[in-house]
Structure 1
Amino acid sequence: MAESATAPDVSGYSFEKAVAELETIVARLERGDVALDESISIYERGEALKKHCETLLSAAENRIEKIRLDRSGKPQAVEPLDGE
């Protein structure tokens, strides 16, 4: 799987698709059977996928916070999303 030298465009990926590809990249890197140049290339793609997933998660958190507002726009016992 040869990767291009330019930054990968993953902006159209769903969260699930990005995570699946990221898991594949991690597995390949953990096996250690990838040439150095290709390792760097797929690592960069993994970074792009990770950032995309973080962006999607942040957007989802923001949407949840908006849903938790009452009709007048006042917060209703907002709790952290991670249960802290």
Structure 2
Amino acid sequence: MKTKKKNEDIQFEDYLKRLEKIVHQLEEGELTLDESIKLYEEGMNISKLCLDKLNKAKQKIEQLVIENEEKYSTKPFSIKKEEDTANGV
């Protein structure tokens, strides 16, 4: 008997492949309304799972900061600080 994988065990890239397949099927326009709705719902669920995985990955990213020539520390990655730096703020 085939067992379903837990969401945490499925790779982000596998979710994207499935999402691309769903989009392709919906764009073909050969599905019934019920089939289209079912695939759309699946796609939205996969989209949410992808967003959750991206948010978890973002939390794990750390930026290396040089305190002195010989001492390093890490701090949480911050998109806002990166944008401020890029904009000269």
Same fold (TM over 0.5): yes
Structure 2 gaps of 5+ residues are 66-72
TM-score by length of 2: 0.65
Higher relative contact order (CA 8 A, sep 6+): 1
Q: Does 2:57 align with 1:54?
A: no
Separation in 2 of the partners of 1:33 and 1:61? Answer: 38
RMSD: 2.7
* Runs of 4+ that moved beyond 3 A: 72-75
Higher share in helix: 2
Higher share in strand: 2
TM-score by length of 1: 0.68
CA contact (8 A) 1:10 1:52 kept: no
Larger radius of gyration: 2
CA contact (8 A) 2:26 2:36 kept: yes
Structure 1 gaps of 5+ residues are 1-8
